[in-house]
């Protein structure tokens, strides 16, 4: 009898099975994830919360008999039943009871399960990426990662490749005819036999032979330093993909709570996305009314402010930060801007000229215009193009493939607009 | 004698001592013979893992196991489902899992139940001896897992899944019900490798550019020709696909074979649930009682054992809200205890019913015989006595489709015993649980379509949607059209026809 303690074994043995299962129900998982994002409050997006996924259609078919046929069932009774007693059939059971009853019906195989946060985010940002992220410059901090590259004759003891080493050793031993255990045993046996036979000349010959075998064994080592091989790794440099994302948000008085909620939610998604997918993306938060300032993450998402709207202030601030810290030769530059579209009429010219400077610098400029939701649903505001939208549309039509524009008016659309803007094929993202 | 343990805490020394004490009773007094045991202590998460891969310690990877895990985990966390206290694997050495959460009393119970009860049954029951290879199963599972992983690497996940899904759907039809030859699982890996090697060596790209043969004019293939060539009718559909499917590639055949081998391996377990659990429960009851009598476990532990033993062997009546059919532990245990009683203290009724062994004073010899030679259905037919039928107040309910009510036709009285026993045994007949579906014809000269026939008994029909979905899976394996005909076994009348869907 043997007792084995399996508890320290690696956990999560069924993880690969789970991944296969998740891949199978991907569509349903994604829908649940999108739903859950819409239900959450701004501050909760990405928070530690379980997402329940209800899946169906993962049934495993098999040939089985339908219920409802004739049958006899011997069951544990109550002691009060007598021949001829009639018991109404259970509702919906389709006739069969007991063992058979449990099997009939139930073809639908729906159940709920819970996603971990990791799985949730993975699924969430799968198939999204920053468009046109290209290798900009192999900077001073060169990233590299090790890669297997054959074998070498020197290396660290931990990298010793036993298989290779033993293979060489065996080949050398065979080539040099190092006597193996059988040969040694045979020679020794011969000496013993000769001693037993009392034949002196045979003994002398046997002794010489044994001596030769022993000397060969001593001369030819089992493992020679020549045999030893180490696994070799070489470091391959990785191209640096330094990127910076500027988040510009309008927080002026014309932005209603609803609009701010939309914008914040959008940026939260963006922030979560960047944090998750890119280790080396810098994020700069800029909010503006008629003045713009760079703020930290917390202020950006949580604090309130009101005032007028001058969009060019944000663009100026962005350019200032960019020229100070993020040269376009070293960084992929991205901009995401959210606004209700209101802007001072006098500001249009400034915006246009600033955009003319900004657009050549950036890989992608995503503009999200938040709407009032209700108004649009009832068609009140339809057809009216906002000031900023018009400005950007003119720029875009003048040939600016980096500029993408989307309208966003309902909470439930946040994820759709976001996914649309950052879909893997950047060409599809430009209107 | 001194106590083996006190209190709820367990450690490895106590497990060891308890195992030895149990072994002494099981082998020395009860005359059981078991494979060497390997006890593995695991966490609840590992238990869930093991659960979801059909109780096997290593299994190939498939999404359905992940699905089971996701579902069971939620049920378990919500407290709606308890984990089993143990899982035991029919292998040599016999592997038994103990959960770390169990108290020492529970560990002792599990050792007695799994290592000696199930262990004895696995080693001695004729079905297991014929159908399973306890020495080879662990190596075979390791091979299966490796092979599936290799196929995933070579051919992609989707391709492998397509075949496994299809084969899983036909698991119930992947069994030879009648013995052909004993499996030697150790040969399986060798065979698979040779098949792969042959494929690799004989691959000739030239053939892939040769246009396929033009379909011959649809001749009238006679059933007899197909029968002769393909050895029809064939009830093992997975076997048919593995050997004769026109479309499968070599590695795909091997995947089908893996599923088939495992289905066959589990086949005896489905037929012996009642006797196996009855055996294990009777053994653990005997061992624990002996341990208590000889002063090796204290009164407190014994009470704890009795409490969980009673819970396990509870059988609600049909009027109970919790009723969900027969509890195999309860019925099995009752039958075994009854045999024991008949051997030692028979009354006049027992002498009439069981003249062969009533009063022979060899209860364990009789039980060992029952465990070795029978399966559930025949065990009930031979050993279910009037005492047990009375104790459970067994009644037979007749269910007729036309009648809105169930009618009591037999009760536990002198005129009803034999009929009840026979009907209950019928209920455990495996041919009632799995529909009999055979491949009866292949259109060899024409479109190679495969025809299945379902022989319906008692006007049982197939569950329509699921049968159509299963046909679609079979079509994946066969590669050509598959149709199924439902035929009434008694009259030969055709009840319906269906083809693949979904």
User: Using 50, 70 and 90 to split pLDDT, how confident is the model at B344?
Assistant: very high
Residues near A324 by beta carbon (within 8 Å), at least 6 away in sequence:
none
For an interface test with B, which of A58, A71, A87 has the most B Cβ atoms less than 10 Å from its Cβ?
Answer: A71
User: Using 50, 70 and 90 to split pLDDT, how confident is the model at B310?
Assistant: very high
B474 neighbors B501 (Cβ within 8 angstroms): no
In this predicted model, what pLDDT tens digit does every residue of B67-83 receive, in sequence order? 888 777 777 776 655 65
Least confident range of A394-398, B21-25, B103-107, B347-351: A394-398
Identify which of B23, B318, B465 has the shortest CB distance to residue A77: B318
Q: Quote the percentage of chain B above a pLDDT of 70.
A: 90
Quick one: DSSP state of residue A239? Answer: P
For residue B98, pLDDT beyond 60 = yes
- pTM summary value: 0.69
What CA–CA distance (Å, rounded) separates B224 from A153?
A: 69
In this predicted model, what pLDDT tens digit does every residue of B152-170 receive, in sequence order? 999 988 889 889 999 999 8
Considering just the CA atoms, what is the radius of gyration of chain B in Å? 26
- Residue A230: per-residue pLDDT: 93
Cβ-defined contact of A60 to B405 (cutoff 8 Å): no
- Residue B181: per-residue pLDDT: 52
Identify which of B36, B43, B69 has the shortest CB distance to residue A17: B69
What CA–CA distance (Å, rounded) separates B281 from B103?
A: 19
Cβ-defined contact of A98 to B326 (cutoff 8 Å): yes
Q: Quote the percentage of chain B above a pLDDT of 90.
A: 30
In this predicted model, what pLDDT tens digit does every residue of A123-173 receive, in sequence order? 767 666 666 666 554 444 456 778 888 899 888 888 899 999 999 999 999
Write the DSSP assignment of B455-473 as a string of letters.
EESTT--B-HHHHHHHHHH
What average pLDDT does range B243-271 have in this prediction? 87
Neighbours of B134 (CB within 10 A): 19
Quick one: DSSP state of residue A128? Answer: B
Give the minimum alpha-carbon distance from B67 to chain A in angstroms, rounded to a whole number: 6
| A102 chain-B contacts, CB cut-off 8 A | 324-325
Order across the sheet with B482-488: list the strands.
Answer: B437-442, B450-456, B482-488, B494-499
For residue A108, pLDDT beyond 50 = no
SS3 labels along B416-437: CHHHHHHHHHHHCCHHHHCCCE
| A65 chain-B contacts, CB cut-off 8 A | 435, 460-463
In this predicted model, what pLDDT tens digit does every residue of A344-398 receive, in sequence order? 888 888 888 888 888 888 888 888 888 776 555 554 455 567 888 888 888 888 8
Please state the separation of Cα B239 from the chain's center in Å.
Answer: 19
| B165 chain-A contacts, CB cut-off 8 A | 60
User: Using 50, 70 and 90 to split pLDDT, how confident is the model at B244?
Assistant: confident
Q: What angle do CA A417, A419, A423 make, to 5 degrees?
A: 125
Distances A137 to A192, A328, A329, A334, A357 between C-alpha atoms, Å? 78, 10, 7, 16, 22
Cross-strand partners of A282: A244
What average pLDDT does range B424-447 have in this prediction? 83
Neighbours of B86 (CB within 10 A): 22
Tell me which of B316 and B176 has the higher pLDDT: B316
In this structure, chain A runs to a length of 431
What CA–CA distance (Å, rounded) separates A306 from A250?
A: 10
What average pLDDT does range A256-272 have in this prediction? 79
What CA–CA distance (Å, rounded) separates B502 from B500?
A: 7
Neighbours of B360 (CB within 10 A): 14
For residue B328, pLDDT beyond 70 = yes
What average pLDDT does range B81-94 have in this prediction? 76
- Residue B259: per-residue pLDDT: 92
User: Using 50, 70 and 90 to split pLDDT, how confident is the model at A41?
Assistant: low
In this structure, chain B runs to a length of 502
A388 neighbors A351 (Cβ within 8 angstroms): yes
Mean pLDDT across chain B: 84
Chain B interface includes A89 (CB < 8 A):
yes
Burial class (CB in 10 A: 0-12, 13-18, 19+), A195: middle
- Residue A110: per-residue pLDDT: 64
For residue A17, pLDDT beyond 90 = no
Would you tell me which residues 302-361 of chain A have a C-beta closer than 8 angstroms to some C-beta of chain B? Answer: none
In 3D, which of A253, A293, A297 has the Cα closest to residue A274?
A297
For residue A4, pLDDT beyond 70 = yes
Q: Quote the percentage of chain A above a pLDDT of 90.
A: 10
A247 neighbors A24 (Cβ within 8 angstroms): no
| B74 chain-A contacts, CB cut-off 8 A | 111-114
For an interface test with B, which of A9, A24, A74, A95 has the most B Cβ atoms less than 10 Å from its Cβ?
Answer: A74
What CA–CA distance (Å, rounded) separates B422 from B378?
A: 10
Chain B interface includes A91 (CB < 8 A):
no
In this predicted model, what pLDDT tens digit does every residue of A269-291 receive, in sequence order? 787 777 776 777 788 889 888 88
For residue A19, pLDDT beyond 70 = yes
For residue A292, pLDDT beyond 80 = yes
For an interface test with A, which of B63, B169, B409 has the most A Cβ atoms less than 10 Å from its Cβ?
Answer: B63
| B486 chain-A contacts, CB cut-off 8 A | none
- Residue B224: per-residue pLDDT: 60
Residues near B53 by beta carbon (within 8 Å), at least 6 away in sequence:
A14, A17, B59, B65
Identify which of A11, A21, A78 has the shortest CB distance to residue B67: A21
A366 neighbors A396 (Cβ within 8 angstroms): no
- Residue A214: per-residue pLDDT: 92
What's the start-to-end Cα distance of chain A, in Å? Answer: 72
Most confident range (mean pLDDT) of A163-172, A263-272, A319-328 is A163-172
For A89, nearest residue in chain B (alpha carbons): B405
What CA–CA distance (Å, rounded) separates A139 from A241?
A: 9
Quick one: DSSP state of residue B115? Answer: I
- Residue A32: per-residue pLDDT: 73
For A184-259, where are the E strands, in sequence order?
230-238, 243-250
For residue A92, pLDDT beyond 60 = no
A246 neighbors A300 (Cβ within 8 angstroms): no
For residue A421, pLDDT beyond 90 = no
User: Using 50, 70 and 90 to split pLDDT, how confident is the model at B227?
Assistant: low
What CA–CA distance (Å, rounded) separates B313 from A149?
A: 62
- Residue B189: per-residue pLDDT: 77
For residue B424, pLDDT beyond 50 = yes
In this predicted model, what pLDDT tens digit does every residue of B354-379 receive, in sequence order? 998 888 889 999 999 999 999 999 99
Chain B interface includes A96 (CB < 8 A):
yes
Most confident range (mean pLDDT) of A133-147, A332-346, B191-205 is A332-346
What CA–CA distance (Å, rounded) separates A303 from A315?
A: 21
Residues near B190 by beta carbon (within 8 Å), at least 6 away in sequence:
none
Phi, psi of B488, deg, nearest 5 = -75, 125
What average pLDDT does range B384-410 have in this prediction? 89
Distances A399 to A337, A365, A430 between C-alpha atoms, Å? 19, 13, 11
For residue B219, pLDDT beyond 50 = no
Mean pLDDT across chain A: 77
Give the minimum alpha-carbon distance from B285 to chain A in angstroms, rounded to a whole number: 21
- Residue A95: per-residue pLDDT: 39
Least confident range of A48-57, B242-251, B385-394: A48-57
For chain A, the maximum distance between any two Cα atoms, rounded to a whole number of angstroms, is 123
Write the DSSP assignment of B217-275 as a string of letters.
P-----HHHHHHHHTSSBS-HHHHHHHH-SS--HHHHHHHHHHHHHHHHHHHHHHSHHH
Identify which of B67, B315, B470 has the shortest CB distance to residue A76: B315
Cβ-defined contact of B39 to A2 (cutoff 8 Å): yes
Cβ-defined contact of B395 to A74 (cutoff 8 Å): yes
Quick one: DSSP state of residue B294? Answer: T
Cβ-defined contact of A59 to B454 (cutoff 8 Å): no
């Amino acid at each position: 009898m043997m007792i084995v303690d399996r508890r320290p074994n690696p956990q999560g043995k069924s993880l690969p099975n789970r991944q296969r299962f998740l891949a199978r129900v991907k569509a349903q998982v994604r829908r649940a994830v999108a739903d859950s994002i819409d239900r959450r409050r701004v501050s909760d997006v990405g928070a530690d919360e379980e997402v329940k996924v209800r899946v169906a259609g993962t049934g495993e078919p098999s040939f089985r008999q339908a219920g409802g046929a004739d049958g006899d069932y011997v069951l544990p009774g109550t002691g009060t039943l007598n021949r001829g007693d009639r018991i109404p059939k259970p509702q919906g059971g389709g006739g069969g009871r007991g063992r058979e009853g449990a099997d009939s019906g139930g073809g639908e195989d729906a159940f709920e399960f819970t996603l971990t946060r990791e799985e949730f985010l993975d699924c969430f940002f799968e198939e999204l990426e920053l468009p046109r992220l290209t290798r900009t410059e192999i900077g001073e901090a060169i990233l590299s990662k090790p890669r297997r590259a054959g074998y070498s004759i020197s290396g660290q003891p931990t990298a010793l490749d036993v298989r290779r080493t033993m293979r060489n050793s065996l080949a050398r031993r065979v080539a040099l005819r190092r006597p193996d255990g059988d040969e040694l045993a045979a020679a020794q046996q011969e000496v013993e036999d000769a001693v037993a036979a009392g034949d002196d000349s045979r003994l002398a010959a046997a002794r010489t032979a044994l001596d030769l075998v022993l000397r060969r064994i001593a001369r030819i080592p089992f493992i020679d330093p020549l045999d030893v091989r180490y696994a070799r790794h070489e470091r391959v440099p990785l191209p640096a993909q330094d990127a910076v994302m500027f988040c510009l948000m309008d927080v002026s008085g014309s932005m209603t709570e609803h609009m701010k909620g939309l914008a914040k939610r959008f940026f939260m998604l963006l922030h979560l996305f960047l944090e998750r997918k890119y280790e080396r993306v810098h994020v700069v938060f800029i909010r503006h009314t008629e003045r713009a300032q760079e703020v930290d993450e917390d202020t950006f998402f949580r604090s309130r402010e009101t005032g007028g709207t001058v969009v060019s202030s944000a663009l100026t601030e962005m350019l200032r930060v960019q020229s100070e810290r993020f040269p376009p030769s070293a960084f992929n530059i991205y901009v995401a801007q959210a606004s209700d579209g209101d802007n001072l009429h006098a500001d249009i010219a400034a915006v246009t000229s600033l955009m003319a400077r900004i657009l050549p610098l950036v890989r992608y400029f995503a503009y999200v215009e938040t709407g009032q939701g209700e108004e649009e649903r009832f068609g009140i505001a339809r057809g009216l193009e906002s000031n900023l939208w018009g400005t950007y549309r003119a720029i875009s039509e003048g040939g600016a493939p980096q500029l993408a524009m989307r309208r966003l008016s309902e909470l439930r659309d946040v994820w759709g607009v976001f996914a649309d803007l950052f879909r893997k094929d950047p060409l599809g993202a430009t209107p | 004698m001194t106590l083996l343990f006190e209190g709820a805490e367990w450690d490895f020394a106590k497990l060891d001592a308890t195992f030895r004490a149990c072994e002494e009773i099981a082998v020395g007094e009860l005359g059981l013979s078991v494979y060497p045991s390997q006890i593995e202590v695991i966490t609840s998460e590992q238990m869930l893992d093991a659960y979801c891969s059909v109780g096997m310690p290593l299994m190939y990877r498939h999404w359905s196991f992940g699905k089971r895990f996701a579902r069971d985990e939620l049920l378990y966390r919500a407290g709606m489902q308890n984990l089993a206290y143990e899982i035991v694997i029919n292998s040599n050495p016999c592997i038994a899992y103990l959960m770390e959460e169990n108290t020492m009393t529970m560990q002792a119970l599990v050792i007695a139940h799994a290592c000696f009860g199930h262990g004895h049954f696995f080693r001695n029951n004729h079905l297991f001896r014929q159908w399973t290879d306890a020495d080879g199963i662990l190596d075979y599972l390791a091979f299966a897992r490796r092979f599936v992983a290799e196929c995933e690497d070579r051919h992609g996940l989707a391709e492998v899944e397509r075949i496994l899904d299809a084969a899983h759907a036909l698991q119930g039809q992947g069994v030879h019900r009648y013995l052909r030859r004993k499996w030697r699982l150790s040969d399986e890996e060798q065979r698979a490798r040779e098949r792969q090697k042959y494929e690799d060596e004989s691959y000739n790209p030239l053939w892939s550019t040769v246009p396929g043969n033009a379909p011959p004019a649809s001749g009238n293939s006679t059933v007899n020709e197909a029968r002769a060539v393909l050895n029809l009718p064939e009830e093992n559909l997975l076997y048919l696909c593995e050997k004769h499917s026109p479309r499968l590639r070599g590695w795909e055949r091997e995947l089908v074979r893996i599923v088939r081998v495992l289905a066959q391996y589990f086949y005896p377990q489905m037929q012996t649930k009642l006797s196996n659990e009855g055996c294990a429960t009777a053994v653990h009851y005997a061992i624990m009682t002996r341990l208590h009598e000889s002063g090796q476990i204290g009164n407190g532990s014994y009470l704890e054992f009795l409490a969980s033993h009673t819970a396990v062997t509870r059988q609600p009546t049909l009027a109970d809200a919790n009723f969900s059919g027969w509890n195999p532990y309860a019925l099995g245990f009752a039958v075994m205890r009854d045999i024991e009683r008949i051997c030692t203290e028979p009354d006049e009724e027992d002498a009439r019913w069981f003249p062969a062994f009533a009063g022979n004073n060899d209860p364990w010899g009789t039980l060992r015989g029952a465990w070795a030679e029978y399966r559930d259905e025949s065990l009930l037919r031979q050993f279910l006595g009037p005492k047990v039928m009375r104790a459970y107040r067994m009644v037979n309910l007749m269910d007729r489709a036309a009648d809105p009510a169930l009618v009591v036709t037999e009760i536990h009285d002198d005129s009803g015993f034999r009929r009840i026993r026979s009907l209950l045994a019928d209920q455990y007949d495996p041919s009632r649980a799995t529909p009999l579906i055979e491949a009866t014809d292949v259109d060899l000269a024409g479109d190679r379509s495969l025809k299945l026939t379902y022989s319906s008994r008692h006007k049982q029909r197939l569950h329509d949607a699921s049968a159509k979905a299963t046909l679609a899976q079979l079509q994946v394996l066969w590669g050509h059209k598959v149709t199924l005909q439902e035929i009434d076994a008694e009259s030969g009348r055709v009840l319906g026809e269906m083809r693949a869907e979904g």
